[in-house]
Structure 1
Amino acid sequence: MSLIILLITCPPVLFALGNVIVYSPDKQVRLEVFNKAGALSYNIQYKNKAVINASALHISVDKSVLTNHATITGNSTYSINESYPWYGAHSLAVNHFNGAKIKLQHGKISYQLDVRVFNDAAAFSFIIPGNKNDKRIPDETTEFNVPAGSTIWYHDLNGHYEGQHTKKSIDSISAGQWIAPPATFKLPGNAGYASITEADLKNYAGMALQSAGQGKLVLQLADHHPISHPYELRYSKDDIARVSKPAAINGTITTPWRVVMIGSDLNTLVNCDAVHNLCPPPDKKYFPDGILTSWIKPGRAVWQYLDGAGDKTVNNMKEYSRLAAELGFEHNILEGFWEKWSDDEIKDLTSYSKQKGVDIWVWMHSKDLRDASLRQAKFKRCHDLGISGLKIDFFDNEAKEVVDLYQDILMETAQLHLMVDFHGSNKPTGQLRTWPNELTREAVKGMESSRLADRATHSTTLPFTRFLAGPAEYTPVHFGERRKNTTWTNQIASAVILTAPVLTYAASPQHLLENPGGDIIKSIPSTWNETIVLQPSAIGELAVFARRKGNTWFLAVMNGAQPKNIQISLSFLKASAKCSSLTDDPDNTGALKTQNSVVKPTDVVSLSLGTGGGYVARFNLQ
């Protein structure tokens, strides 16, 4: 009878008969841990419907499986309800969850499963104590059994995290298929959406998923992953052999969080804070004001690479900085040609640029940063030359040694007040919270991919898949052939939707200034106070985003490959507003139309969108 009373009153954590159930603060999400046929298992529900069916938890240490015939011996509960400044879909992240540290016993080994359940996510992490001199090899094959009838969007690991998503029924994915997180799926019966990824990856190898067929996805660590084409291209056979071996860990083994983001709609998924919530806050030693520390400078960047004008000289990069200032942009990112310049030439550029209010970033190859003393000398030189940020490229693998390199780079650049942009990188795992000097990373098939023909479908898939893990440097907005089957207006809308704290534009600054949408381009920020994903957004078909910065709202629409007529309510506006808008020219995808008007919250925008069509509006509240 007491158990029935407990279920009715629904406390945050239930512990009975060897099972532990953890509820979200709003009681809509629950994660249950239990034993099933001798295997430690779990399931996740949302509004009493399955998100993850009963699935085996599986971790081994030195090939000894700790989750088989493990006993749940107790748990200690905890909860957090806090908020903190953030550079993402909104400016204030909310970290509110109920947690339980579940005590487990396997023979003589005592360990824990840490569980946290949010209103929009559930997550778990293993903690296996060890002495600091212990050197042990963990492995995981935890399962995620996705409900039959779900639709999943995924890409493989051939290009590492630079892939093009496929849409399939979960039931039709064959065994052996690799899936790069985040793996987003729509539950059957309009029960909602979910996405699987990991958080707080450090001192450990990264995870991907592999299908076992019949809707079962299995966690696999990096030494099991196929070597990506970019890694094969850039690294030696010895490197490949080394990263293909399992990695040992000293002392206590703490796995990254295995996260399932959950929501009734796409707006909930896009606004989910769970991935960065699961990471520690920034160390005040490096970041006295956290993410708002003065030398952390979000902003927009010009970049001479995909739409480059002029030569690769100091004088031309001065011109890029001058044009960046004319746009109101804050950064100028240089590719590897800067390394041929003298210190005096670099100082000349950084000094000139700072007078214009523009910071200089420079490119580096991660292979040249493996030696700690050489790496630190390079970073010190950049700092002394007035360089503000580093674009570090070609990681292309999630082995523990690569993950460790990220951590070393982030700590050492923080000491020197250098910002970082990782390219050729693995997915973000929320560590922008711990290390806010990392302002973005690539891990996306972006505008650099010149052969991507169906950019319309790709760019309407990314906001609800890859971007759920964190910002991506897609390098949006190109007015030339690279835009493929999208319009100019769609391209400008992508700067609003495919955003990052450092938002690097693909188009040259001259082309941005000359474009008839230039006034709106200048005003698009790189960080937002509020984001609302509006109807009728659909993954891979249509992205409709309303985003607010201060008293200004932007409405951005990117259409997929199929023409459609849609209506969008302006009810997100709380007052009348002056509206400046960009619409497609129906006769020319390489042109657009501008219009100024006054609108009310009761108004509805009606759009007729062709393949890859778009719409952008800026609303200044009166």
Structure 2
Amino acid sequence: MAALAATLVAALLAGTLTAAPARAGSARWTVAAPGSDAPRAEVIHNRAAGTVSLAVSRGDRTVLAPSPLGIRTENADLTGGLRFLGRSDRADVERYTTTVGKRTQRLALFREARFKFVGANGARVDLVVRAARDGLAYRYELLGDYGSVLGEASAFTVPPDSTAWLANHRRDYENPYVQTTAAAADDREYLAPALFDVDGTYLMLAESNLDGRYSGGSLVHDGTGTYHVKLWDQSVLVDGPLATPWRVMVVGGLDTIATSTLVDDLAPPSRLADTSWVHPGQVLWTWLAGGRGAGQSLTRQMGYVDYAAQRGWPYVAVDAGWYFDPQQWDVTDPNWRTNSWMPELVRYARERNVGILVWIHYRDLDTAQERAEWLPTLHEWGVKGVKIDFMDSESQDRLRWYDEILPATAQNQLLVNFHGSNVPKGVHRVWPHVMTMEGVHGAEKSSLTTSHITTLPFTRNVIGSMDYTPMGFHRTRPTSDANELGLSVVFESGLQNLAGTPESYDARPEAVRFLEQVPTVWDETRLLAGRPADNAVFARRSGQRWFLGGSSAGAARTLNVPLDLPAGRWLVELITDGEGGLVRSQRVVRAGDTLPVEVIANGGFAGLACRWRPTITTCDQP
């Protein structure tokens, strides 16, 4: 292992120490990962103005025109007047394991260049640039205490005619993605991640390693194709040296975007020594059957536990309404724990190998005293996890709350699903008990479109688990039944909250058969076909089997799916929309074949692929 790491480091460092020829009045340096398809960053220092910018290219294509860099604090303006002090380079090879995601075993390879600058008043700032095969990132490191951060000059100048998929800014990240172009987008604030197609090379803008030391950021379009970073807080409190979050640019083909783990790769290592208690899985979640009327009672919840046990689903989620209204219920009353039916439900579920997850409002966990009351009590009852809702902010103050709730939930061995939240920015690596986060215009919304749904795998879901809550078969929705079933594979979420009712599942036996088998954690992920706002087809491997999922937007058509599977012959079982409901078909194919799949309007499919042998008649595991 040590020899392999040394070889990788040597390969990464090769060719990193030479600067591009200086042009009149400027110096230019390149940072790139190995490989002809890897993106390249060019750091440009205008000596006269003392400004620094960054451009990105891939092959002969400009992905980002020179875009401004810099940071402003109370006591130092480090957006201009900068003098270059030197550059140092290193390689970084990291292996790590995650509990959720597109693949659990990760290998992160970086070339890192550190550019050292000093401002007019002697303030020191380093620009750290990292290059990987799937993208680039940069951050600022302030080497002294220069007061609160007042903003960044950071921006991204995208070629103006690039196709763009953008979501208007919203506190909880729950706005739909809409297709436009980089320059034609309205002059307003947008969410990250944001996706652009630059003449066949895709660029996704995101963020990593955000915590309470800083403030969340959005993207503000100035009307020309330049998107400026805007911090949530006008003043970010800083005490001493600071390393800002990473500004992330995932760059490559659409398959690179869809399978990238760059946002996690840039995050710090896990803070949990023991993850043996962390178990992802499917969740029976009945809230969309009618809110509190869906059965916030012991009797109804016992029925849901029985149904989950029959299906082999490991969890039932009990949403809002299971505890008293906080305005009427005082948790400081020493008898409050005896007023709940939750311990009895947990015992009932445990006997049937089902875990209970509970919803809780942020306001009931926003003080140290409340956390000390709630979290140990839930652990003592045997509750397996919490769905915490309505944080609705990415301010520094709210991020510091995340910094407190994350170790507290881990200490009490509670899985976490954040709702009304921000989006994952490396949290899955740092805190492996975070199973999923909302931060998505998901199935709870009434204004869904299939164009938005088929954009999510290339935007929001790229950066981490996404609690979209699929399988609401009983509801009015834009997707066909087979499309909805395919989302169990297309959308990745460590806790996959299945939003249907027992009756709606029983009416679709092929869906039940598939959902009893599909996992929520993957050994490998491949994009087979797709285009944002049009279609997305994924293959995800668990053990020796590949699960297939396809989702389309618009008219009925034939999806021609390249079977990018390991060499050999495969038995493929597909579930598609038929005249009388979901139908299952089989065919034997070879890896590399193109599989034609007929889909109805706004249709899709789900499927399984297993190694074919003459004795194999199904991909079901015994």
CA drift of 1:404 comes to: 1.1
Counterpart secondary structure, 2:358? strand
Q: For 1:580 and 1:138, locate their aligned partners in 2 and report how far apart those are by CA, in whole Å.
A: 56
- After superposition, give the CA deviation of every residue in 1:386-422 in whole Å (9 maximum; x if it has no partner): 1111100111121111111111110111111111110
1:515 counterpart letter in structure 2: R
Taking the TM superposition and a 5 Å limit, the aligned residue runs for 1:196-275 are 196-202=205-211, 203-223=213-233, 245-263=234-252, 265-275=253-263
Counterpart secondary structure, 1:250? coil
Q: For 1:31 and 1:603, locate their aligned partners in 2 and report how far apart those are by CA, in whole Å.
A: 37
Taking the TM superposition and a 5 Å limit, the aligned residue runs for 1:34-49 are 34-36=44-46, 37-49=49-61
8 Å CA contact retained: 2:73, 2:147: no
Is residue 203 of structure 2 the alignment partner of residue 194 of structure 1?
yes
Is residue 287 of structure 2 the alignment partner of residue 305 of structure 1?
yes
Is residue 15 of structure 2 the alignment partner of residue 11 of structure 1?
yes
The aligned residue for residue 88 of structure 1 is 101
Counterpart secondary structure, 2:405? helix
Q: Which moved more, 1:82-91 or 1:69-78?
A: 82-91
Is residue 139 of structure 2 the alignment partner of residue 143 of structure 1?
no
Q: For 2:532 and 2:75, locate their aligned partners in 1 and report how far apart those are by CA, in whole Å.
A: 40
Taking the TM superposition and a 5 Å limit, the aligned residue runs for 1:371-386 are 371-386=367-382
2:258 counterpart letter in structure 1: V
The aligned residue for residue 416 of structure 1 is 412
2:241 counterpart letter in structure 1: T
- After superposition, give the CA deviation of every residue in 1:577-621 in whole Å (9 maximum; x if it has no partner): 343321112x46xx2212244444365432232321111111222
- Counterpart pick for 2:491 among 484, 498, 502: 498
Is residue 181 of structure 2 the alignment partner of residue 181 of structure 1?
no
Is residue 273 of structure 2 the alignment partner of residue 287 of structure 1?
yes
1:127 counterpart letter in structure 2: E
The aligned residue for residue 237 of structure 1 is none
Q: For 2:401 and 2:266, locate their aligned partners in 1 and report how far apart those are by CA, in whole Å.
A: 21
Q: For 2:111 and 2:563, locate their aligned partners in 1 and report how far apart those are by CA, in whole Å.
A: 36
5+ residue gaps, structure 2: 1-12, 325-336, 613-622
- After superposition, give the CA deviation of every residue in 1:117-151 in whole Å (9 maximum; x if it has no partner): 101110011111235xx752341131100023211
The aligned residue for residue 121 of structure 1 is 135
Q: Which moved more, 1:138-147 or 1:35-44?
A: 35-44
Counterpart secondary structure, 2:509? coil
Q: For 1:19 and 1:569, locate their aligned partners in 2 and report how far apart those are by CA, in whole Å.
A: 42
- After superposition, give the CA deviation of every residue in 1:463-500 in whole Å (9 maximum; x if it has no partner): 011111211100011213332x2210000001111120
CA drift of 1:573 comes to: 4.9
Taking the TM superposition and a 5 Å limit, the aligned residue runs for 1:186-585 are 186-188=197-199, 190=200, 192-202=201-211, 203-223=213-233, 245-263=234-252, 265-283=253-271, 286-288=272-274, 293-307=275-289, 311-340=295-324, 342=338, 345-452=341-448, 454=449, 456-483=450-477, 485-517=478-510, 518-535=512-529, 537-585=530-578
Q: Which moved more, 1:29-38 or 1:49-58?
A: 29-38
Q: For 1:187 and 1:167, locate their aligned partners in 2 and report how far apart those are by CA, in whole Å.
A: 14
User: What's the Cα RMSD here?
Assistant: 2.0
Q: For 1:382 and 1:129, locate their aligned partners in 2 and report how far apart those are by CA, in whole Å.
A: 43
Counterpart secondary structure, 1:350? helix
Q: For 2:294 and 2:193, locate their aligned partners in 1 and report how far apart those are by CA, in whole Å.
A: 39
Taking the TM superposition and a 5 Å limit, the aligned residue runs for 1:22-33 are 22-26=31-35, 28-33=38-43
Counterpart secondary structure, 1:339? coil
8 Å CA contact retained: 1:63, 1:138: no
5+ residue gaps, structure 1: 1-8, 224-244
CA drift of 1:510 comes to: 4.3
Inter-CA distance 347–64: structure 2 relative to 1 (3 Å threshold): same
8 Å CA contact retained: 1:180, 1:208: yes
- After superposition, give the CA deviation of every residue in 1:444-463 in whole Å (9 maximum; x if it has no partner): 011100233x2x11111100
CA drift of 1:196 comes to: 0.3
CA drift of 1:94 comes to: 2.0
8 Å CA contact retained: 1:78, 1:100: yes
Q: Which moved more, 1:511-520 or 1:601-610?
A: 601-610
1:601 counterpart letter in structure 2: A
Inter-CA distance 63–459: structure 2 relative to 1 (3 Å threshold): farther
CA drift of 1:281 comes to: 0.9
CA drift of 1:315 comes to: 2.2
CA drift of 1:187 comes to: 0.5
Q: For 2:133 and 2:52, locate their aligned partners in 1 and report how far apart those are by CA, in whole Å.
A: 24
Counterpart secondary structure, 2:526? strand
The aligned residue for residue 164 of structure 1 is 176
- After superposition, give the CA deviation of every residue in 1:57-110 in whole Å (9 maximum; x if it has no partner): 021011742120111211221111232223211222220010012211002111
Q: Which moved more, 1:435-444 or 1:500-509?
A: 500-509
Inter-CA distance 287–213: structure 2 relative to 1 (3 Å threshold): same
Q: For 2:370 and 2:294, locate their aligned partners in 1 and report how far apart those are by CA, in whole Å.
A: 32
2:164 counterpart letter in structure 1: I
8 Å CA contact retained: 1:25, 1:97: no
Q: For 1:121 and 1:603, locate their aligned partners in 2 and report how far apart those are by CA, in whole Å.
A: 30
The aligned residue for residue 30 of structure 2 is 21
8 Å CA contact retained: 1:198, 1:275: yes
Taking the TM superposition and a 5 Å limit, the aligned residue runs for 1:49-128 are 49-62=61-74, 64-86=76-98, 87-107=100-120, 108-128=122-142
Q: Which moved more, 1:567-576 or 1:361-370?
A: 567-576
**How many pairs were matched up?**
574
Counterpart secondary structure, 2:130? strand
Counterpart secondary structure, 2:268? coil
8 Å CA contact retained: 2:124, 2:144: no
Is residue 597 of structure 2 the alignment partner of residue 607 of structure 1?
yes
The aligned residue for residue 617 of structure 2 is none
Counterpart secondary structure, 2:90? strand
Inter-CA distance 499–512: structure 2 relative to 1 (3 Å threshold): farther
Q: For 1:336 and 1:50, locate their aligned partners in 2 and report how far apart those are by CA, in whole Å.
A: 49
8 Å CA contact retained: 2:575, 2:584: yes
Q: For 2:592 and 2:117, locate their aligned partners in 1 and report how far apart those are by CA, in whole Å.
A: 56
Counterpart secondary structure, 1:249? coil
Q: For 1:306 and 1:109, locate their aligned partners in 2 and report how far apart those are by CA, in whole Å.
A: 54
Counterpart secondary structure, 1:185? strand
CA drift of 1:310 comes to: 5.5
TM-score by length of 2: 0.88
1:287 counterpart letter in structure 2: A
TM-score by length of 1: 0.88
Counterpart secondary structure, 2:467? coil
- Percent identical among aligned pairs is 29
Inter-CA distance 507–210: structure 2 relative to 1 (3 Å threshold): same
Q: For 1:402 and 1:310, locate their aligned partners in 2 and report how far apart those are by CA, in whole Å.
A: 31
Q: For 1:187 and 1:42, locate their aligned partners in 2 and report how far apart those are by CA, in whole Å.
A: 17
2:391 counterpart letter in structure 1: F
Counterpart secondary structure, 2:531? coil
Counterpart secondary structure, 1:204? coil
Q: For 1:571 and 1:184, locate their aligned partners in 2 and report how far apart those are by CA, in whole Å.
A: 24
CA drift of 1:208 comes to: 0.5
2:595 counterpart letter in structure 1: V
CA drift of 1:376 comes to: 2.4
Counterpart secondary structure, 1:20? strand
